Amino acid sequence: MGQGWELIKAYYKENNAIQQNIDSYNQFIFDKVPKIIQENSSILSRVEDVEVRLNNIQILHPQLVEEDGSRRTDFFPMEARLRDKTYTAPLFADIELYRKGVLQDTKRTAIGELPVMLKSKLCNLCGLKEDDLIKAGEDPKDLGGYFVVNGVEKVLVNQEVLASDKIMVSMDGNKAISEVLSTRGAFKGKVKLVRNPNGILEISFPSSPKKLKFFVLLRALGFKVKEEFINAFEKIPEVQNDVLLNYSRLSLESEEEALDQIGKYVAPGQILAYRLKRTYEIIDNFLLPHIGQSEDKRNLKAYYLIGMAQRAIELSYGMREEDDRDSYHNKRVELSGKLLEREFMQAFNYFINDIKFQIDRNIVRRRRLKINTIIRPDVITDRIMFGMATGTWAGKLTGVSSFFTRYNFMNPIIESRKVKSTLDSSRENYEARSVHGTAWGRVCPIETPDGPNCGLIKNLAIMARVTTDYEGNDLEPLLRKLNVYEK
């Protein structure tokens, strides 16, 4: 036991107990926010040829806006606590307003406020020495990792969720189900492929028709002749039998017919050209967006779906076992940065829609378009601060933000390392509440509350650490170089 504590002491000489939360927040501020805005930097009006462009995104250090509208840069968390203020940083951008291709107005202005995590790179306390921290009214031993909202200290509770972009198979009665939670940014779309007892494969994804035949979707994705369907699956008799059965039920001969069958659901009553256009938009944007959202990714999506179908067929014939959803191999822990990314994405979408609404309203009322009249920074700020204050989060999550109590020195650390499951606490979920073997070394098997939250609210093990989000963009070139990736 003594040697174990020596190891723990050595570990914490080099590591901070909540550094993972700070690293996650830093990634959100300096990587995710500019990327989200850049992907939506051009905003087009619905009424006339009006465009708003956002450029040169910059997040400044925390500032306090006084009653007279002036901004103070010497703003520290203690002042926010004492004056019941929110410790935030302004988000600035260069905004250009075009009408029929002609520049009408340009201005650099704030488009919102973001909550600042204490001791992050954005915080004014970052890099201060012990004496300077004391002068700022802070405890030098305080590790940070929390926020000050309306003078109250708040912490974002880490969320335990199912792993995204990972295929998992299970049995539902006599149906074999293969599904994946495809994630891109804050958007999460479940793709569910079902093998019915009669061998017919059906698929559903966001905005798709109900009980869409899987081979109809493959036809829409460019599969033309019978050999393409057969050769795409493994040469296993049971699998090939299901392939031939599904192909025999495919009555559509062309890609356009398959697209139109989907289009009649997503755009009913519209002309053929518009139905086909809408179908392509649905396939590109909502079908497996983690693979990509461009036209050249459709072939990759088709083969990914074939891999899902193959697993469902194998499961139904007893050739593979169900995936364990309670295993930590199939789970992820979302830290503060990832949670704020989801909330900011939703708030920014509201901001874009509000700009379009303000433009349309000014055009209808025949008012002159100006940046001051169409940009409302409070849209982003109010959305995020509502979530921080109430704990109600994007994705219908609740209890994400909680009060930060300081009964003793350890309590803030425990609060920052708490992990909450997204499962409903009013349901039994016996298997989800019990300790899984893969939790060893990751989650403490003892520290959990009594009552309905037993087994659903946990704490990270004393030496457990959660890594930050990783895009993996450099993996594909590496796999190609090693000749283990084939497009």
Two tokens at 485? Answer: 């990736």
Residue type, 93: A
Q: What is the pLDDT of residue 343?
A: 92
168-316, CATH topology level: 3.90.1110
**Residue range 298-344, pLDDT digits in tens:** 899 999 999 999 999 999 999 999 999 889 899 999 999 999 998 99
2-161+331-459, CATH topology level: Rna Polymerase Beta Subunit; Chain: C,domain 2 (3.90.1100)
Q: What is the pLDDT of residue 485?
A: 58
Q: If you write DSSP's letter for every residue of 56-118 in order, what string do you get? A: EEEEPPP-EE-TTS-EES---HHHHHHTT---EEEEEEEEEEEETTEEEEEEEEEEEEEE--T
Two tokens at 196? Answer: 């019915």
**Do 153 and 403 touch, CB atoms closer than 8 A?**
yes
| Three-state DSSP state, 161 | strand
Two tokens at 268? Answer: 């009913």
**Do 401 and 388 touch, CB atoms closer than 8 A?**
yes
Domain ranges in the chain with CATH number 3.90.1100.10: 2-161+331-459
What residues of the chain score a pLDDT lower than 70? 1-4, 185-186, 485-487
Q: If you write DSSP's letter for every residue of 3-42 in order, what string do you get? A: HHHHHHHHHHHH--TTHHHHHHHHHIIIIIHHHHHHHT-E
Q: What is the pLDDT of residue 410?
A: 87
CB neighbour list of residue 272: distance below 8 Å, 6 or more residues apart: 260, 263
Q: What is the pLDDT of residue 408?
A: 87
Two tokens at 36? Answer: 């989200």
Q: Please state the length of the chain.
A: 487
Two tokens at 62? Answer: 């925390």
3-state secondary structure 199-235: CCEEEECCCCCCCEEHHHHHHHCCCCCHHHHHHHCCC
Q: What is the pLDDT of residue 76?
A: 93
**Residue range 256-293, pLDDT digits in tens:** 888 888 888 888 888 888 888 889 889 988 899 988 88
Domain ranges in the chain with CATH number 3.90.1110.10: 168-316
Identify the bridge partners of residue 205 per DSSP, sorted by sequence position.
none
Q: What is the pLDDT of residue 459?
A: 92
Residue type, 332: R
